[in-house]
Amino acid sequence: MNTGKCPQCEKPLQFIQFEEIPMRSGGELFDTGVSLFCPYCHTILSTSLYVDKTADEILFNVKKILEEVEDFLFELQSVHSDVENLQSVPRGVAAKKPLIAPRKPQKKKRK
């Protein structure tokens, strides 16, 4: 048996009511909080950050970032294998004939 009483209506509380409440910082939504209140007179007994929900949201975002990193790595891997395919093209075709012929060293004229 719980023996605690509501500070407002002084009824003994066998349970307290719980609800989510938006937390604002100035005009902007800051986070989700919880409000714990008396089920009889609705006096708020306590409020706090809804830690579990915040943790779930952080976990969700981390998973999303990991998926994006995974996609990026997959793309990088396919670019890497494209480069490897290009490098395996026989070099002789392009490399043997230089576009500009090397100059022949000029002989010095004897005086």
What is the gyration radius of the CA atoms in the chain, in angstroms? 37
CA dihedral sign of residues 49, 52, 57, 62 = positive
Q: Toward Zn ion, which CB reaches closer, 23 or 40?
A: 40
Query: What tokens appear for 98 in the block?
Result: 């230089």
Q: Does residue 9 touch Zn ion according to CB under 5 A?
A: yes
Q: Does residue 32 touch Zn ion according to CB under 5 A?
A: no
Least distance in Å: CB of 38 to Zn ion? 3
Q: Does residue 16 touch Zn ion according to CB under 5 A?
A: no
Q: Does residue 38 touch Zn ion according to CB under 5 A?
A: yes
Q: Which is nearest to 37 in space by CA: 3, 6, 1?
A: 6
Which residues bind to Zn ion, rule: CB under 5 A? 6, 8-9, 38, 40-41, 43
